[in-house]
Amino acid sequence: MAKVSAPKIAPCLWFDDNAQEAVKFYTSVFPRSKIVELHPVMSTFEIEGLRVMALNGGPAFTFTEAVSFHLSCKDQAEVDYYWRALTADGGSEGQCGWLKDRFGLSWQIVPEVLAELMSDPGKAGKVMQALLRMNKLVVADLKKAAEE
């Protein structure tokens, strides 16, 4: 059997006609990001080492919550920063740490501590109940729920 090399897999985001604007926005929000190529039809950029393609494909398709980017944040300051940046200029808040940015792309902004709190069977239910009442996740409130 012939050896097969590992493919390079990258998400491709379909935009109507504002892919270049989106690429510039995303690379301005994330400190470890860069524009690889910026062209009218297809652009490429990197966020936190993830290569992403952006296509101006027209109005035929739009984003849905079926696909989202999950962003694991080290603390409340990071949650606050990304929440504020990604909801700015027309983005919208969702429940349980979800939001849509101004381009309609869904993001999950989640503090790293949530996994730890949810891994304790004695605390998980209380933490989940607190989480379900939140839009942006608040670390202090999640920890408080775990201790009640």
Contact 139, 79 (CB under 8 A): yes
Domains 10-62 and 63-148 share a fold: yes
- 117 φ/ψ angles, rounded to the nearest 5 degrees: -65, -40
What would the pLDDT profile of 63-89 be if each residue is shown by its tens digit? 999 999 999 999 999 999 999 999 999
Contact 145, 130 (CB under 8 A): yes
- 86 φ/ψ angles, rounded to the nearest 5 degrees: -80, -20
Beta strands 98-100 and 92-93, pairing class: antiparallel
Instruction: Say if pTM beats, i.e. exceeds, 0.75.
Output: yes
CA distance 130 to 142: 6
Determine the average pLDDT of the residues in 1-19: 86
Question: Residue 1's pLDDT band (boundaries 50, 70, 90)?
Answer: low
Q: What is the pLDDT of residue 8?
A: 85
- pLDDT at 21 > cutoff 80: yes
Q: What is the pLDDT of residue 99?
A: 98
Contact 43, 35 (CB under 8 A): yes
Tell me, what DSSP letter sits at residue 41? S
Percentage of the chain exceeding pLDDT 90: 93
CATH code of the domain made up of 63-148:
3.10.180.10
Determine the average pLDDT of the residues in 103-122: 96
Contact 66, 73 (CB under 8 A): no
Matching residue, tokens 């775990």 = 146
Contact 28, 102 (CB under 8 A): no
Q: What is the pLDDT of residue 41?
A: 97
- Helix count (H) and strand count (E) of the chain? 5, 8
Report domain extents, the chain. 10-62, 63-148
- pLDDT at 17 > cutoff 80: yes
10-62 CATH pick, 3.40.50.970, 3.40.50.300, 3.30.360.10, 3.10.180.10: 3.10.180.10
